[in-house]
Chain A
């Protein structure tokens, strides 16, 4: 079976656009969190998010007509273009039908849904603009990337909420491993929107101020957005074109808690970790870094820490949450985690957990890589993604 390598990174995030800016953001512990400008926050008690503000997609896109697509689709397409460029992959190197696209998402076109809701509230259904209907279907996220790259392989959107990028990367890995594709452009995309911000507020999940994962006084998450796309290639293809990969995809696992729609389950998550290790041929003590789901809510971080402690028999490697810098980019979140992990493996550093101040006595053993990136030899990284619906997905990456 083919081995699978990550050769290109296309992050469009609140801490930077493109792999170089994203890496420098991670290394400096940069915060991408700022007051929301994409909707009117009057009346909202908390107004921070990780929006992608200074990005003009038309400067990246070559084929896609930005006006005809929703924000999440544009994130997916622009991230795909950036990732392909970062991989140094030109279109004549791959046969179009051997290039597939797999995109994960939580809410699909959340801003289009918001627009639908606004028009409905103001004037009823007849007032909804026709482009809202055309742009709403969530399969358009993968389609936008396929359209932008003019590739004709399988194009699929996986909507498994906040672990969706890991679901996507897992399927992408299998497509290459099983010989169905030479190249897969994969990751996730989502957009900050008014209604999800309201929903998380009402769940009591939004941070008072800064998002401080694994901190004793952590108070919640901050919603965010972006496109987190990666180029995966088969070993043969990488060799033939002489590319130098960031990392190898070692394997993945998915499972479902099947207990509660929003409350995570430590035993089920630990099971997913054990499966991911087994599927990837690694032992717990091989793992040098865990890129955590780490939303910063009291419940998630306590549950994730408990699952890590159980899985690693107490010897847990350094664990950091890049959501402390980017915010929680929903369906793109584990894509950003994969990009950060690929950079950790190839550049030899651990991304930090920003805003960390006080050790949580409930997880006193945990090393969150506080506030400053740390130089480290990383051979194996574990990228966690958990979600509404009890959907857990974990991707394991290895150094090349």
Chain B
């Protein structure tokens, strides 16, 4: 598939909101985990990378946000920041502008509490109809489309840890087939008791977190200036049970590198923040790098810096890499390899080349 250009990004994360804050967080290397409690609820964790101060209403105003679930608020704010960072003018006609958003289960809180109410209400069907659209997995993408007038492709990719890379691949296809000129693509995850229990139940390592990262994408050949980054290639596959997950990932990564015409020796950063799976473990990563012939690559501890969640962490990790590029022109042209796998078996990889912003783009 064709090369994607990233022309801006927006993040909601404990690691920071602006590119400068995110780059600072990478440099400082501090964990953002803090003590967490929830009224009247048992949590499976004493610490979390959560954003108790985040409020969609405070960020976006009252209008249209009254029924937002938390995931929707995080996603819409990240979209807004990405649009601003890219200087994107959607205007009145958004027919050629779309959104591809990654998720795991949508808002677990919105759907599960809706289900729970049918067991506590009398009669049981007395749920709130205004909250019903929050229970579907594409609720956030629909609200973002309304907010910003995105009338083109509007896809929600339920991929968990693989959602970001699947969304990038899906986006590349949209451009290659001429279906849009600009896409917002990214992934989101909320922190609630539901998501914390889900994270623990999936065997996730590290404290759970929340956040969203959204990237503004265009076909690389359509761009008149240097982008923030290029997604040179993506590859995806599936590893059936009983087969070796690291081998399947290595196969994906090799295909992506080949398609990008990038040698393994050029890979300077390996991003593998998909903590709901064994691949996040350093041993698996070491084995993967050995199979590929990647040597001396850097790793960002995205889970520690920004919190752990199936779909948001890999997206925030890409934003951290791009923020570092923006802050350090010496890194211009460096290659990062992104890999991800889901407990259910999906595997994916992407090759990214990052740039700082020249004087013309501030």
Chain A contact residues, CB within 8 Å of chain B: 42-45, 97, 101, 105-108, 113-114, 116-118, 120-122, 124-126, 128, 130, 132-134, 136-144, 146-147, 150-161, 167, 171, 174-175, 177-178, 180, 193-204, 253-262, 268, 271, 387-391
Answer whether residue B138 sits at the interface, using C-beta atoms and an 8 A cutoff.
Answer: yes
Instruction: Name the distance in Å between A9's Cβ and chain B's nearest Cβ.
Output: 23
Q: Which residues of B contact A133 (CB under 8 A)?
A: 197-198, 200-202
Q: Which residues of A contact B65 (CB under 8 A)?
A: none
Q: Which residues of B contact A157 (CB under 8 A)?
A: 157-159
Name which residue of chain A comes closest to B132, CB basis.
Answer: A199
Name which residue of chain B comes closest to A122, CB basis.
Answer: B119
Q: Which residues of A contact B173 (CB under 8 A)?
A: 171, 174-175, 178
Q: Which residues of A contact B160 (CB under 8 A)?
A: 137, 139
Q: Is the CB of B240 within 8 A of A194?
A: no
Q: Is the CB of B138 within 8 A of A154?
A: no
Instruction: Name the distance in Å between B96's Cβ and chain A's nearest Cβ.
Output: 10
Q: Which residues of A contact B200 (CB under 8 A)?
A: 133
**Quick one: which of A106, A126, A146 contacts B240, CB cutoff 8 A?**
A146
Name which residue of chain B comes closest to A126, CB basis.
Answer: B42
Q: Is the CB of B105 within 8 A of A108?
A: yes
**Quick one: which of B95, B114, B152, B201 contacts A195, CB cutoff 8 A?**
B114
Q: Is the CB of A153 within 8 A of B124?
A: no
Instruction: Name the distance in Å between B314's Cβ and chain A's nearest Cβ.
Output: 13
**Given A174-B173, A196-B135, A256-B153, A128 and B197 touching (CB < 8 A)?**
yes
**Quick one: which of B111, B117, B145 contacts A113, CB cutoff 8 A?**
B111
Q: Which residues of A contact B346 (CB under 8 A)?
A: 139, 142-143, 146, 154-156
Q: Which residues of A contact B197 (CB under 8 A)?
A: 125, 128, 133
5 nearest A-B residue pairs (beta carbon): A133-B201, A389-B142, A117-B115, A159-B137, A143-B344
24 A–B contacts, CB within 8 A, in A order: A43-B124, A44-B123, A108-B158, A128-B201, A136-B105, A138-B137, A139-B162, A141-B158, A143-B342, A146-B238, A146-B345, A147-B344, A152-B238, A153-B236, A154-B238, A156-B170, A159-B136, A159-B158, A161-B137, A174-B173, A199-B129, A254-B152, A256-B99, A256-B153
Instruction: Name the distance in Å between A224's Cβ and chain B's nearest Cβ.
Output: 16
Answer whether residue B241 sits at the interface, using C-beta atoms and an 8 A cutoff.
Answer: yes
Instruction: Name the distance in Å between B101's Cβ and chain A's nearest Cβ.
Output: 9
Answer whether residue B227 sits at the interface, using C-beta atoms and an 8 A cutoff.
Answer: no
Instruction: Name the distance in Å between A221's Cβ and chain B's nearest Cβ.
Output: 14
Instruction: Name the distance in Å between B72's Cβ and chain A's nearest Cβ.
Output: 10
**Quick one: which of A138, A177, A194, A260 contacts B115, CB cutoff 8 A?**
A194
Q: Is the CB of A256 within 8 A of B145?
A: yes
Q: Which residues of B contact A117 (CB under 8 A)?
A: 112-119
Q: Is the CB of A147 within 8 A of B44?
A: no
Answer whether residue B16 sits at the interface, using C-beta atoms and an 8 A cutoff.
Answer: no
Chain A proximity mask over B187-223: 1 for CB below 8 Å, otherwise 0? 0000001100110111000000000000000000000
**Quick one: which of A43, A107, A151, A259 contacts B125, CB cutoff 8 A?**
A43
Chain A proximity mask over B151-175: 1 for CB below 8 Å, otherwise 0? 1111111111011001001100100
Q: Is the CB of B154 within 8 A of A155?
A: no
Q: Which residues of B contact A390 (CB under 8 A)?
A: 142, 145-146, 154
**Given A45-B125, A140-B344, A256 and B154 touching (CB < 8 A)?**
yes
**Given A152-B248, A171-B170, A199-B132, A256 and B126 touching (CB < 8 A)?**
no
Name which residue of chain B comes closest to A162, CB basis.
Answer: B136
Instruction: Name the distance in Å between A48's Cβ and chain B's nearest Cβ.
Output: 14
Answer whether residue B256 sits at the interface, using C-beta atoms and an 8 A cutoff.
Answer: no
Name which residue of chain B comes closest to A268, CB basis.
Answer: B151
Name which residue of chain A comes closest to B101, CB basis.
Answer: A159
Size of B's binding interface in residues, CB under 8 A: 87
Q: Is the CB of B125 within 8 A of A44?
A: yes
A387 to B137, CA, bound (A): 12
Q: Which residues of B contact A120 (CB under 8 A)?
A: 112-113, 116
**Quick one: which of B98, B125, B344 contacts A202, CB cutoff 8 A?**
B125
A58 to B104, CA, bound (A): 27
Chain B contact residues, CB within 8 Å of chain A: 1, 41-44, 94-95, 98-99, 103-106, 108, 111-120, 122-129, 132-133, 135-139, 141-143, 145-146, 148-160, 162-163, 166, 169-170, 173, 176-177, 179, 193-194, 197-198, 200-202, 236-241, 243, 248, 310, 342-346
Q: Is the CB of A132 within 8 A of B146?
A: no
Q: Which residues of B contact A171 (CB under 8 A)?
A: 170, 173
Q: Is the CB of B238 within 8 A of A151?
A: yes
**Quick one: which of B152, B163, B179, B345 contacts A147, CB cutoff 8 A?**
B345
Q: Is the CB of B106 within 8 A of A160?
A: no
A64 to B40, CA, bound (A): 39
Q: Is the CB of A158 within 8 A of B157?
A: yes
Q: Which residues of B contact A199 (CB under 8 A)?
A: 114, 127, 129, 132, 135
A278 to B127, CA, bound (A): 42
Q: Which residues of B contact A152 (CB under 8 A)?
A: 237-240, 243, 248
**Given A43-B125, A113-B112, A257 and B344 touching (CB < 8 A)?**
no
A283 to B198, CA, bound (A): 49
A204 to B344, CA, bound (A): 37
A158 to B160, CA, bound (A): 12
Q: Which residues of A contact B125 (CB under 8 A)?
A: 43-45, 197-198, 201-202
Q: Is the CB of B142 within 8 A of A261?
A: yes
A142 to B342, CA, bound (A): 12
Q: Is the CB of A139 within 8 A of B133?
A: no
A152-B238, A152-B240, A156-B236 given. 17 additional CB < 8 A pairs? Answer: A106-B137, A107-B136, A113-B115, A137-B342, A155-B238, A157-B158, A178-B1, A194-B124, A198-B114, A198-B126, A254-B153, A254-B154, A255-B152, A261-B143, A388-B142, A390-B154, A391-B138
Q: Which residues of B contact A195 (CB under 8 A)?
A: 111, 114-115, 117-118, 127, 135
Instruction: Name the distance in Å between A182's Cβ and chain B's nearest Cβ.
Output: 14
Query: Which of A44, A140, A193 has most chain B Cβ within 10 Å?
Result: A140
Q: Which residues of B contact A178 (CB under 8 A)?
A: 1, 173, 176-177
A126 to B43, CA, bound (A): 9
Name which residue of chain B comes closest to A99, CB basis.
Answer: B238
Query: Which of B148, B194, B344 has most chain A Cβ within 10 Å?
Result: B344
Q: Which residues of A contact B146 (CB under 8 A)?
A: 258-261, 390
Q: Is the CB of B128 within 8 A of A261?
A: no
Q: Is the CB of B240 within 8 A of A261?
A: no
Q: Which residues of A contact B119 (CB under 8 A)?
A: 117-118, 121-122
**Given A161-B137, A195-B111, A199-B114, A255 and B151 touching (CB < 8 A)?**
yes
Q: Is the CB of B237 within 8 A of A254?
A: no
A37 to B141, CA, bound (A): 33
A200 to B127, CA, bound (A): 10
